[in-house]
Amino acid sequence: MGGYKVFSFDKIPSTQDYAYDMIANGTARDHCAIVALAQSAGRGRYRRKWVSHHGNLYASFIFNSPERDPRLSYAVAVAIAETLSSFGIQPTIKWPNDILISGKKISGVLIEYAGRFVIVGIGINVHTNPTVAEYTTTRTDKYTRADVVEIFSALTKNLDKWMNAKFDSVRDMWMNLAVGINGMVKYRGEMVELIGINDSGALVVRRGSEYLWIHGDEIMM
């Protein structure tokens, strides 16, 4: 499918961990995709669990990445957003890469580097949406009849498109879809204004008359 070598499963512990194992045992290649319809030990950001009931899309993509690139996170968010838009769903993005529909989370991204690769883990709620304490959730089947395979196929194309796009266009698209721009966020215990992202993928915030560039997951919205 679209130049990817796809390993698909009904249920495994975590596609992300499977990708790690492939890297560790030397079988990983650029553009490997590990896909499952359910996970028994799905992982989210901040060491949270990613509740992974049967019927959703759980995928980890392996790409060559000799170095870390903070801009990747935005390209992935925009690729997921465009995938959902192509099925008539209007998403927004919550920094850095949560995808929301009407304020409810429909997709999350976990980016992890291992050796000379990066693993891009993407969960999209298709037929079930878990109840989680931290935020409200929704799923695609409330808005479209597209199934997991169609969504996965569109996602692979959009990942290639946006990961190879000039960062200016990624940033423009991200800024158009982002929620909370010019709103207040918490950074190291202080309230600061969220301005946007710069050329290198750092988050720009304003503290009084001072502009700060933030790398990493340090703000709370």
Q: How far is the CB of 105 from ligand BTN (least distance, A)?
A: 7
Q: How far is the CB of 5 from ligand BTN (least distance, A)?
A: 17
Round to whole Å and give the CA distance between 32 and 158: 15
Name the residue with the smallest CB distance to ligand BTN.
Answer: 108
Closer to ligand BTN by Cβ: residue 108 or 201: 108
Closer to ligand BTN by Cβ: residue 113 or 212: 113
Q: How far is the CB of 186 from ligand BTN (least distance, A)?
A: 19
Closer to ligand BTN by Cβ: residue 12 or 197: 12
User: Over the chain, what HEC string results?
Assistant: CCCCEEEEEEEECCHHHHHHHHHHCCCCCCCEEEEEEEECCCECHHHCECCCCCCCEEEEEEEECCCCCCCHHHHHHHHHHHHHHCCCCCCEEECCCEEEECCEEEEEEEEEEECCEEEEEEEECCCCCCCCCCCCECCHHHCCCCCHHHHHHHHHHHHHHHHCCCHHHHHHHHHHHECCCCCEEEECCEEEEEEEECCCCCEEEEECCEEEEECCCCEEC
Closer to ligand BTN by Cβ: residue 58 or 167: 58
Closer to ligand BTN by Cβ: residue 48 or 53: 48
| Pairing, β 32-39 against β 5-12 | parallel
Q: Return the bridge partners of 39, or none.
A: 12
Closer to ligand BTN by Cβ: residue 89 or 97: 97
Q: How far is the CB of 201 from ligand BTN (least distance, A)?
A: 18
Q: How far is the CB of 100 from ligand BTN (least distance, A)?
A: 11
Q: Site residues (CB under 6 A) for ligand BTN?
A: 14-16, 39, 42-45, 48, 50, 58-60, 98, 108-110, 121-123
Q: How far is the CB of 46 from ligand BTN (least distance, A)?
A: 7
